[in-house]
C-alpha cells in the first residue's frame, strides 16, 4: 500500500494555541516521526509520501522559509537513527537544486545510508509541485527523443525514476478539500480522505481508522 499525506494545519494549530507558526512546524515534525514509525510497523504499508515543502511555499515569509530549511536539515540529522532503527528507506521527489548545498548533501547522505532498507520507503516531497514534475518528465522525454506515451511519462516522473508506485490512499488534514498540486498523476485512482484534524493533532490511531475505512471501499479502476 502507498499512502500519501498532505500535512496541513501547522500554522492554524499554532495560532489556536497562541504560538508562533514555527511552533506548529516543530510539533508537526514530531508527528511525522510518529506516523512514519507506525507505518514502518504495518506490513501492509510499503510507501509513505509526505508533502513537506511545495514549489509554492517559497512565497511564504522569508523567516518562515529559512526556519523550515533549518528544521528539515536538523530533522534529517537527528532522525537518521530512527530511519536505521526502523529500517526505513529515505527518498525524495521534487527539485532540490534550489536548496543550499549543505541541505542537498544532507539529503544525499540520508538517502545513501538508508538505501538498502525495505521495510518502508518514506518519501518527502521537497520543492515539489505536480505540474512542475510532469513538465520536467516531458522535457526528459524530449531530450531523449522518446515517444510521449502514458507509460513513458510515468517512468520519467520523479516517482517513476525512483520506482515509487502510484498512490492507493491520499489523506489531507486540516479540513481543506483540495489537492494543492500534489501527485496529480499518481492519485488518478487513489481513494481520498479529508479529515478536519490539524496535522499536529493527527495520530497513528486516526491513521489506522482511515486505513480500516479504506479497506471497506471497492476500487474498480474504471471497471464495473
Q: What is the pLDDT of residues 47-87, one digit of tens each?
A: 999 999 999 999 999 999 999 999 999 999 999 999 999 99
Residue with cell 510497523: 41
Within a domain: 163: no
Distance CA 20, CA 61 (A): 13
Say whether 113 sits in a helix, a strand or coil. helix
Q: Annotated catalytic residue: which of 20, 57, 162, 181?
A: 57
Q: Domain for residue 22, yes or no?
A: yes
Query: Is residue 133 situated within a structural domain?
Result: no
Expressed as residue numbers, the domain containing 211 is: 2-128+168-216
State the total domains in the chain: 1
In whole angstroms, give the CA distance from residue 161 to residue 152.
11
208 has catalytic annotation: no
- Asked whether the predicted pLDDT for residue 221 surpasses 80, the reply is no
The answer on pLDDT for 224 being more than 60 is no
Give SS3 for 32: helix
Cβ neighbours of residue 135 under 8 Å, at least 6 residues apart?
none
pLDDT tens digit string along 187-214? 999 999 999 999 999 999 999 999 999 9
Other C-beta atoms closer than 10 Å to the C-beta of 144 total 10
Domain with residue 82: its CATH number is 3.40.1180.10
Instruction: Identify whether the C-beta of residue 4 lies closer than 8 Å to the C-beta of residue 170.
Output: yes
Q: What does pTM read for this prediction?
A: 0.94
Residue 223, pLDDT above cutoff 70: no
Active site residue 57: yes
Amino acid at each position: 500500500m502507498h499512502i500519501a499525506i498532505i500535512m496541513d494545519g501547522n500554522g492554524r494549530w499554532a495560532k489556536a494555541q497562541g504560538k508562533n507558526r514555527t511552533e506548529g512546524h516543530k510539533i508537526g515534525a514530531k508527528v511525522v516521526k510518529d506516523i512514519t514509525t507506525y507505518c514502518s510497523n504495518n506490513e501492509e504499508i510499503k510507501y509513505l509520501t509526505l508533502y513537506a515543502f511545495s514549489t509554492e511555499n517559497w512565497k511564504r515569509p522569508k523567516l518562515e522559509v529559512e526556519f523550515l530549511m533549518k528544521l528539515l536539515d536538523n530533522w534529517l540529522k537527528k532522525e537518521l537513527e530512527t530511519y536505521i532503527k526502523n529500517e526505513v528507506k529515505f527518498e525524495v521527489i521534487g527539485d532540490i537544486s534550489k536548496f543550499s548545498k549543505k541541505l542537498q548533501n544532507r539529503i544525499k547522505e540520508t538517502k545513501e545510508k538508508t538505501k538498502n532498507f525495505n521495510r518502508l520507503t518514506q518519501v518527502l516531497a521537497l520543492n515539489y509541485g505536480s505540474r512542475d514534475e510532469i513538465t520536467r518528465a516531458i522535457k526528459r522525454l524530449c531530450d531523449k527523443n522518446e515517444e510521449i506515451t502514458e507509460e513513458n511519462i510515468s517512468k520519467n516522473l520523479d516517482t517513476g525514476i525512483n520506482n515509487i508506485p502510484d498512490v492507493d490512499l491520499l489523506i489531507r488534514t486540516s479540513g481543506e478539500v483540495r489537492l494543492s498540486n500534489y501527485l496529480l498523476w499518481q492519485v488518478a485512482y487513489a481513494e481520498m480522505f479529508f479529515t478536519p484534524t490539524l496535522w499536529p493533532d493527527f495520530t497513528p490511531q486516526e491513521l489506522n481508522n482511515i486505513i480500516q475505512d479504506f479497506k471497506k471501499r471497492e476500487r474498480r479502476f474504471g471497471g464495473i
